[in-house]
Amino acid sequence: AQHRSLRLSVIGTGYLGATHAACMAELGFEVLGLDVDPAKIDALSRGELPFHEPGLSELLVKHVDSGRLRFTTSYQEVGDWADVHFIGVGTPQKAGESAADMRYVDAAVTSLAEHITRDALIVGKSTVPVGTATRLAGLIQDIRAGSGRPGSVELAWNPEFLREGFAVKDTLHPDRLVVGVRSDHAEQVLRQVYAAPLAEATPWISTDFETAELVKVAANAFLATKISFINAFSEITETVGGDITTLADAIGHDPRIGRRFLNAGVGFGGGCLPKDIRALQARVSELGLDRTMAFLNDIDDINLRRRDRVVDLAVQVLAAVRTGRTDSTGPAEVRSHGGTAPTPTPTAVHTLVGTRIAILGVAFKPDSDDVRDSPALDVANRLFTAGADVAVYDPQGNRNAAGRFPRLDYVDSLQEAVTGADLAILLTEWDEFKQMDPAQLAPLMKHPAIIDGRNVLTAQDWIDAGFTHAALGHRFDP
């Protein structure tokens, strides 16, 4: 890419910030990434990415080597140097509450406002409660009025829509660019930053702060609603019969509905959708609109009920395959595994104790090593807590999962996971799992039984290979 004259800083080098920094360097800018964590900065400066994201590591190495991408822990350095500062710090869910924790965004903006010594534009990218940008603009004004430092500092809001697993592509070739601005100058600066995607005719939406903030949460709330909508229909087809995938295909042909994000399964997780729908509801209630987003409670509940369903289905499948085993009677034995999952019923414990279950996938989605709010990891932990031996295999997610639930048995291959297992449960639809050969796996297992938690396997292939097969969104008829 050609050299571009604006100097950019990116505050926060987590998932969003590191991606944005490397992609802006790829677009030709000089970029300085800042994080308060010196360990992160050291690693990134050596070209080491602390998480898995296809294509990002290569960009990081390329631009650390070219010198276009540097990292620092010093606000003074970025404040003296950059023309545009992107805020990409996290807004996690507050412990024990639904609302978003704004302390990192507030700290970043405060530090920038205190240190900037030249004309600069601060651009918020983090997902925030509506009203935040207006509040931060006031904060910046107050700090600058008292600081006596040279330069005028303006704020803009530019929400991020990148998906994990496609972060590089989504940043370099976004579906749309949304900017909340209060001056033509701010808009012109952002048009310069995004000249490359704009040259590809990417839709450009220039609006006010509130709309820009709301576009982001509206998009994520809509996506979560689509997923829970089809998963609610799964509850019906599981009861009455029917095929959830055919249903999704059929309604998806209507372009007003669309097929994407109608994949029924164990539901949504990750660092965004779950916390964003909770934060939106909390914010809207704060505004006195208690009923307005109440439906998101149901969206959340439907999503969490999918995990209960997998555990119930595991009990049913194991009860079915257990026929003929000698240990099927006798008192329920509860092993003391500890943990925080809901107490399973005595029948469930009775069925699960002494079984080995292979969990295929713990990342919240494929092509990611992220296990934040992962439905798969939650199910694995619940089965373990209920007494099962749980073998976990994920192509990328094992390490992060082991950090959270160290007592599960993490193994290095699919074959190892299913060997000796009474049941395998596919919970993250990695290609490796979609391509599994049932005939090869069957002899490795104690009982060939599988639950398809993402509706990606062809049932008949597994039944033909001798498997007991069950899937979310389908009635289980042992």
Binding residues vs ligand UGA (CB under 6 A): 127, 160-164, 220, 223, 227, 261-263, 265, 267-270, 272-273, 364-365
Query: Min. distance of Cβ 160 from ligand UGA in angstroms?
Result: 6
Shortest CB 365 distance to ligand UGA, Å: 4
Name which of 353, 345, 340, 420 is nearest 382 in CA terms: 340
Which residues lie below 8 Å from residue 466, measured CB to CB, with a gap of 6+? 438, 442, 448
| Token pair 């995004």: residue | 194
* Nearer to ligand UGA (CB atom), residue 262 or residue 470: 262
Q: Say if residue 417 is exposed, middle or buried (CB neighbours under 10 Å; 0-12, 13-18, 19+).
A: buried
Least Cβ distance, residue 53 to ligand UGA (angstroms): 10
User: Minimum distance from CB of 349 to ligand UGA (Å)?
Assistant: 28
Looking at the Cβ atoms of 70 and 275, the one nearer to ligand UGA is 275
Instruction: Mark whether 23 is an active-site residue.
Output: no
| Beta-carbon-side half-sphere exposure of residue 191 (alpha carbons within 13 Å) | 13
3-state secondary structure of 441: helix
* Binding-site residues for substrate: 161-164, 216, 261-265, 269, 365
Contacts of 291 (CB under 8 A, 6+ apart): none
Q: How far is CA 178 from CA 190, 198, 275, 331, in A?
A: 10, 12, 21, 61
Query: How would you class 78 by CB atoms within 10 Å of its CB: exposed for 0-12, middle for 13-18, buried for 19 or more?
Result: buried
Residue (265 or 448) nearer to ligand UGA, CB: 265
Nearest approach, Cβ of residue 218 and ligand UGA (Å): 11
- 34 strand-pairing partners: 11, 72
What are 90's two structure tokens?
């996290």
Return binding residues for NAD(+): 35, 40, 91, 127, 164, 275, 372
Q: Could you give the CA distance from residue 146 to residue 149 in angstroms, rounded to a whole number?
A: 9
Half-sphere exposure of residue 385, counting CA atoms within 13 Å on the CB side?
Answer: 16
Helix (H) or strand (E) holding 424: strand 423-426
476 touches 447 (CB < 8 A): no
**Smaller CB separation from ligand UGA, 404 or 446:** 404
CB of 118 to ligand UGA, least distance (A): 31
Among residues 105, 120, 214, 272, which one is catalytic? 272
Q: List phi, psi (to 5°) of 340.
A: -115, 0
For residue 409, give the H/E element and its range: strand 409-410
Helix then strand then coil, % of the chain, to nearest 5: 45, 15, 40
Which is nearer to ligand UGA, 153 or 273 (by Cβ)? 273
The backbone region for 37, taken as left when phi is positive above 0, alpha when psi lies in -120 to 50, beta otherwise, is beta
* Residues with active-site annotation: 272
